[in-house]
Amino acid sequence: MKERAHDHTSRQNPRRAGRAEDAPCVEALDHTIQRLENGEITAIEAIDALLSEEYATRETRRIDVALRTSKLLPIKTLESFDFSFQPSLDRERIAALAQLDFVRRAEVVHFLGPPGTGKSHLATALGVAAVKAGRQVYRASLADLIDALAKAERQGQLAEKIRFYARASLLIVDEIGYLPISRGGANLFFQLVNARYEKGAMILTSNRGFAEWGEVFGDPVVATALLDRLLHHAVVVQIEGASYRLRAHADLIPEHVRANARITPPPPQKRRARPPKNEVANP
């Protein structure tokens, strides 16, 4: 009897029998029909309004799903970034990056600076902008990325995993330099970077200068090969200043920590031929 009652209700109110997430569409439909019946809009205007509402609803769902699969939650935006706290940042330059020309050109954007200065926030915000523009994005910390590649290698699925990461229009690699990387892990990351070289854009965040990457990746040869590709078509954004996250407790931070810690990129490298594969594969 309960099932029959439910079916009867559904037949009588087909517009109200949908899923909970369809409620906004149902409300828009009811409102539009009421305006049509009252003579406030024409039939053509009603159809146009309903199509616009349907498109907006579908686009919202697409973005929500894409943000989850891209690992871009919680959402960060440029509008929510406090540029006044980081005066070393050129706001117009960041806004230009948000136009996403660097994605089309398959360039690499480097955000360098001490911990807490907003590197990850800016990287995520650009990723969110790319998702909204219909681009495929994926974000991961360097440690998580290498763990995933190492697991795939053990399972004999490394090539497939690299293709998965290479598929995204924009790959965001966060927290380079925070944890030590083994030589094997560095080699795996090189293979991924090499697969994306001049094919897909990347955003990298790091608290270490490029001159320290030999130490970060445990091998100067691999680090040089990485920088050879990651600096060829690159935009380097230097952030100086204190921790953005600790701004409310600045008086508790020692002076030597609050002092600007400039991370200076190395001089531009002359383009050279790629090293033989065996040089990197077997460092």
Q: Calculate mean pLDDT across residues 268-275.
A: 50
119 pLDDT tier (thresholds 50, 70, 90):
very high
| SS3 (DSSP) at 113 | coil
Least confident of 15-29, 96-110, 264-278: 264-278
Res 210 pLDDT > 80:
yes
**Which residue's structure tokens are 């030597």?**
256
Tell me what pLDDT residue 42 has: 85
**Percent of residues in the chain assigned helix, strand, coil, to nearest 5:** 55, 10, 35
Amino acid letter, 144: D
Spatial distance between the Cα atoms of 205 and 173, rounded to a whole number of angstroms:
7
Q: Pick the more confident residue, 221 or 11.
A: 221
How much is the pTM?
Answer: 0.72
Q: Pick the more confident residue, 9 or 234.
A: 234
Res 118 pLDDT > 50:
yes
Tell me what pLDDT residue 56 has: 76
Res 275 pLDDT > 70:
no
Tell me the domains of the chain and their CATH numbers: 2-68 (no CATH), 76-281 (3.40.50.300)
| Of residues 214, 154, 185, 183, the one with CA closest to residue 283 | 183
Tell me what pLDDT residue 223 has: 96
Spatial distance between the Cα atoms of 220 and 133, rounded to a whole number of angstroms:
38
Tell me what pLDDT residue 35 has: 81
Distant-in-sequence, close-in-space partners of 191: CB < 8 Å, separation ≥ 6 = 149, 158, 162
Instruction: Go through 114-140 and write b for each residue having 16 or more CB atoms within 10 A of its CB, e for each that does not.
Output: bbbbbbbbbbbbbbbbbbeeebebbbb
